[in-house]
Amino acid sequence: MPELVAELVRLQVAVIAAAGGNNSAFAAKAATADIPIVFTSGADPIKVGLVTSLNRPGSNVTGVSWFNSESLPKRMAILGELVPNIKLAVLLVNPNMPELAGQPEVAQQTAHALGWQLPAVEARSASDIDAAFADAKRQRADAIIVGAGPFFRIHRTQLVVQAARHGIPAIYGNRETVTGGGLISYGNSLPDS
């Protein structure tokens, strides 16, 4: 990636769109302090060091963040209202997104406050999703919380099918999954972003 960014700097492009998450944004930021950089990220851009402030990002870097980990407690609270008396919920996460690594910790803190058990299950592939839902059913999970990120948006139809097949209520981080048949979502609007 640094080679691609170096080439863009050499070509003196007008702007660099670093839409590949934090890694592409950091590569662009390291390569130039002059060309404007517009990033997309699922993380808090202040916490990860992309910008110094939301209202005045500073330097040549600005962008869009979905604050995925920060919206997780609200998503869990909504799920708790919809599915009363949750004792065991499963958090489905994709570990291949470094900027979303904070999701399990945030979810565990919220689960503790709600009195839930919340094992985190990693899904890196479509077969992992199938296995996670089957295992949640065997454990008699009351609900599934689907983590954020592009992997789960890509597999949204599979997620909806598995939730219906196993009869497990699930909450998602994007509206597209609900318009495709999912139960409920809470999160940012990708098209608006």
Closest among 66, 170, 142 to 158, alpha carbons compared? 170
User: What local confidence, expressed as pLDDT, does residue 69 receive?
Assistant: 66
User: What local confidence, expressed as pLDDT, does residue 51 receive?
Assistant: 87
108-165 pLDDT per residue, tens: 999 999 999 999 999 999 999 999 999 999 999 999 999 888 889 899 999 999 999 9
- Looking at per-residue pLDDT, the higher value among 112 and 19 belongs to 112
Structure tokens at 122: 């990693």
* 136 Cβ contact list (under 8 Å, min separation 6): 90, 121, 144, 166, 168
CB 60 within 8 A of CB 33: yes
Instruction: Look at residue 50 and give its three-state secondary structure.
Output: coil
Candidate CATH numbers 3.30.1490.100, 2.102.10.10, 3.40.50.720, 3.40.50.2300; the one for domain 68-185: 3.40.50.2300
56-77 pLDDT per residue, tens: 877 899 888 766 667 889 999 9
170-183 pLDDT per residue, tens: 999 888 899 999 99
CB 153 within 8 A of CB 185: no
Look at 23-27, 60-64, 150-154, 185-189 and tell me which has the smallest mean pLDDT. 185-189
Annotated domain spans of the chain: 2-65, 68-185
DSSP annotation of 98:
G
